[in-house]
Amino acid sequence: MPDSSQKTNFGDLPDSQSSWADSRVVIFSAPFGQSLTYRKGAENGPKTIIEASWNMELLDMDLGFEPCSVGIHTYPMPPPQSTSSFDSMSRWVYETAKKIFDAGKFPILLGGEHSVFLGIIRRAAEVHDDLTVLCLDAHADMRDQYEGNRFSHACAMRRCLELAPPVLVGVRSMSTEEHEFLSQTHVPLFTADRLLADEVAIDELIEALSPHVHLSVDLDVLDPSEMPSVGTPEPGGLSWYVALKILHRVARERKIVSADFVELSPIPGNIAPDFLAAKLIYKTIAYTFFA
């Protein structure tokens, strides 16, 4: 086995299961966190997730085989000049997503702050004119600007709304401005407490989605007892099993065409959240291709 300094592939997959030519899934990273305002460090999330994935068992017990059989290619990290500003990072994400989509592969973006997902949303919406964005997030992220920045992580879903209609899931925190804006729009909103208490809510969530879905997971959607390694850990979030139930239903009843997982801010010495993030990505691949 190679030492850790030589490992680069998600899941520590051998070249036979991770080459560009033979992989149906491509994982690429946007290590960017300039607009984060509370606990910082999400720019370290992508690398940490990939490193955590080296320790996963590749067998999915529910399926009885290895989802990595579809091939998972780990794209090289962006050059330093691409991470110097939001504009350059967003441009790199868009161009990389375009390359992946154009090759007929399934892109998964690792962030970084939530706003980095706009590049992949833009390309997904160009490919699928009926795209909806299923956003699992503790926060509405619907401010028009925050601290003078229209592309802050706190504005991610407001900018998404300009590209494709979102469906908000797991929200349990928003500002007065966001509340007033959402009350005047038709953005479907499924709060965390409702999802935990009402089985019908998941049925209604599915109905709100179009046939083609981009999945966006801000890891703070999970309860901080399971996922403390985020910038703003809001109490009362979804559990691991509720999140999996939602993802499995969506994958069975709609077509997930791309995904992003953002805002892991690693806590030194606490590896469990890093491993959870890697496992959640692997389960999403399983559901997307084998649900």
CATH code of residue 249:
3.40.800.10
pLDDT at 149: 86
Mean pLDDT of 25-38: 89
CA distances from 72 to 15, 18, 24 (A): 10, 5, 7
Would you state the pLDDT for residue 6? 60
Largest CA distance in the chain: 57
- Write the CA distances from 51 to 10, 116, 190, integer angstroms: 8, 21, 33
Q: Find the domain containing 42 and state its range.
A: 4-290
The model's pLDDT over 134-184, given as tens digits with 9 standing for 90+, comes to 999 999 999 999 888 888 888 999 999 999 999 999 999 999 999 999 999
pLDDT value, residue 291: 79
**Cβ pair 263, 218 in contact under 8 A:** yes
Backbone angles phi, psi at 204, to 5 degrees: -70, -35
Residue 1 has pLDDT above 70, yes or no: no
Which one has a higher pLDDT value, 199 or 207? 207
pLDDT attached to residue 35: 77
| pLDDT interval class at 18 (50, 70, 90) | very high
Predicted local confidence at residue 25, as pLDDT: 98
Structure confidence at residue 74 as a pLDDT band (50, 70, 90): very high
- Mean of pLDDT over the chain: 94
* pLDDT higher than 90, residue 45: yes
For range 237-255, the mean pLDDT: 97
Mapped onto helix, strand or coil, the DSSP state of residue 120 is helix
Calpha distance 267→274 (Å, rounded): 9
pTM value? 0.95
Q: Is 3 a residue whose pLDDT tops 50? A: no
Q: How many domains does the chain have?
A: 1
> In which region does residue 79 sit, left (phi positive, over 0), alpha (psi from -120 to 50) or beta (all else)?
beta
The answer to whether 40 touches 253, Cβ cutoff 8 Å, is: no
Q: How far is the C-alpha of 5 from the C-alpha of 45, rounded, in Å?
A: 18
Q: Which amino acid, one-letter code, is at 70?
A: V
Q: Which of 283, 228, 289 is nearest to 53 (CA)?
A: 283
Q: Which of 151, 146, 84, 110 is nearest to 265 (CA)?
A: 110
Please give the average per-residue pLDDT across 190-214, as a whole number.
95
- pLDDT given at position 37: 78
